Amino acid sequence: MSRFLLKKYASLAPYVPGEQPKTGGYIKLNTNESPFPPSEKAREEYIKAFDRLNLYNDPENGALAAAIAERFGLEASNVLLTNGSDEALAFIYTAYADAEHPFAAPEISYGFYPVFSQLTGAENVTFPLKPDCSVDAEAFVKTKHNVVFANPNAQTGTAMPPGDVERIVAASPSRIVAVDEAYVDFGTESAAGLIKKYPNLIVVRTFSKSRSLAGGRIGFALSSAEIVSDLKRIKYSFNPYNLGRAAEAAALGALKDEKYFSECVARVIEAREYTASEAKRLGMDVVDGKANFLLMRSGLIDGGELKDRLFAEKIIVRHFSTPFLAPYIRVTIGSMDEMKAFIKVLENILKGAVK
């Protein structure tokens, strides 16, 4: 770092995204992307938008905001469009977190939460997971802090029942509750239906996973009109045109193709259940996940070594070195063919690990 960096950022540990290989030939199961290309309707709308890239886009992203609002039974004033859901989370922390107003999060969850806490000068308040790797809803009901959690939870994939989500939101109307639903389409119910009832709720969503648009960087937040107004105050203080014309067009096209969306989600779920079943057959301990990834571990080989052995066979999975996660690998669900290849390689590695 340079001598000019402010001292308060000297100890900042930025979020590290999953590895993006520079060459082909790998089965990439490490960044929770969709194995399927975007909808053809998304492609068509994207291409149409290309000829207008010489012009600034609508800073309100009004067309997309209206389409999202219609899908969730809300008004456009309840929708904020952002460059991926990460930016929505950053705006939420910027608007509502400081030394006196921290966000409480699960101890094991999305790695950006502690980064945003440090950036905003807020304490990194966390609650441990339950023995089954699920989020402890009761801890979040009882806390007086602002709350953020992913549902299904990042890294573990476990899903919180809708009733528990509502209990957390309802427990204290004087705090913000942000529910990060990056993986919600793969196995649990969205909290978006609670927004009209609870003005302190923010639901954060993305087109990166179930809509096959990770490279488009398209996210959004749903909340009361007052909170969306707060977040736009932050957004427009950075970049009013942050979601570009082409990305907005692709998202609009994707929303028009519910059939393709449903088919892709169903295929991911089918491949996830196959992978979980086969991994358990091989003796792996698999967390009951409802996302587009699975967290699993072996009693025969450490998670880091297993990740390296898989990489040597051209399969990339994610490994985290924190004590809780170190024994595990996190495996993104790819196509059925990719998951069959993963299971075959995993079986060979585990056979070699038997003493």
Domain assignment of residue 74, yes or no = yes
Q: Where are the beta strands (DSSP E) in the chain?
A: 27-29, 79-82, 103-106, 125-127, 146-150, 177-180, 201-206, 219-223, 285-286, 293-297, 315-317, 328-332
Domain assignment of residue 10, yes or no = no
CB-based contact 34:212 (threshold 8 Å): yes
Q: Tell me how far apart the alpha carbons of residues 218 and 84 are, in angstroms, rounded to a whole number.
A: 4
Same domain, yes or no: 71 and 218:
yes
Domain assignment of residue 267, yes or no = yes
Domain assignment of residue 7, yes or no = no
- pLDDT above 90 covers a percentage of the chain that reads 91
Cα–Cα distances in angstroms (integers) from residue 15 to residues 21, 26, 61, 92, 190, in the given order: 18, 24, 28, 17, 26
Same domain, yes or no: 113 and 203:
yes
Last residue of a domain, one of 256, 285, 301: 256
Same domain, yes or no: 69 and 160:
yes
Helix (H) or strand (E) holding 264, with range, is: helix 258-281
Last residue of a domain, one of 256, 282, 308: 256
Q: What is the pLDDT of residue 354?
A: 56
Same domain, yes or no: 228 and 285:
no
Reported as a single tens digit per residue, the pLDDT across 160-205 is 999 999 999 999 999 999 999 999 999 999 999 999 999 999 999 9
In order, the DSSP letters of 38-84 are PPHHHHHHHHHHHTTTTSPPPTT-HHHHHHHHHHHT--GGGEEEESH
Q: Tell me how far apart the alpha carbons of residues 111 and 115 are, in angstroms, rounded to a whole number.
A: 7
Kindly state the tokens that stand for 119.
Answer: 């950036």
CB-count burial class (<10 Å; 0-12, 13-18, 19+) for 305? middle
Q: List, in order, residues 6 or more apart from 266 with CB less than 8 Å away.
A: none
Q: What is the pLDDT of residue 38?
A: 97
Reported as a single tens digit per residue, the pLDDT across 12-53 is 888 888 778 777 789 999 999 999 999 999 999 999 999 999
CB-based contact 28:331 (threshold 8 Å): no
Q: Tell me how far apart the alpha carbons of residues 124 and 133 are, in angstroms, rounded to a whole number.
A: 20
Domain assignment of residue 321, yes or no = yes
Q: What is the pLDDT of residue 125?
A: 97
Total-model pTM: 0.95
Same domain, yes or no: 179 and 250:
yes
Which residue is associated with the tokens 């193709």? 257
The domain total for the chain is: 2
Q: List, in order, residues 6 or more apart from 53 with CB less than 8 Å away.
A: 244, 245, 246
Give phi and psi for 11, each to the nearest 5. -100, 10
Domain assignment of residue 330, yes or no = yes
Same domain, yes or no: 163 and 249:
yes
Same domain, yes or no: 154 and 243:
yes
> What's the CATH number where 175 sits?
3.40.640.10
Domain assignment of residue 12, yes or no = no
Same domain, yes or no: 192 and 293:
no
Q: Which residues of the chain have pLDDT under 50?
A: none
Same domain, yes or no: 212 and 267:
no
Strand partners, 316: 28
**Residue 113 belongs to domain spanning:** 40-256
Q: What is the pLDDT of residue 100?
A: 97
Same domain, yes or no: 130 and 208:
yes
> What's the CATH number where 25 sits?
3.90.1150.10
Q: What is the pLDDT of residue 254?
A: 97
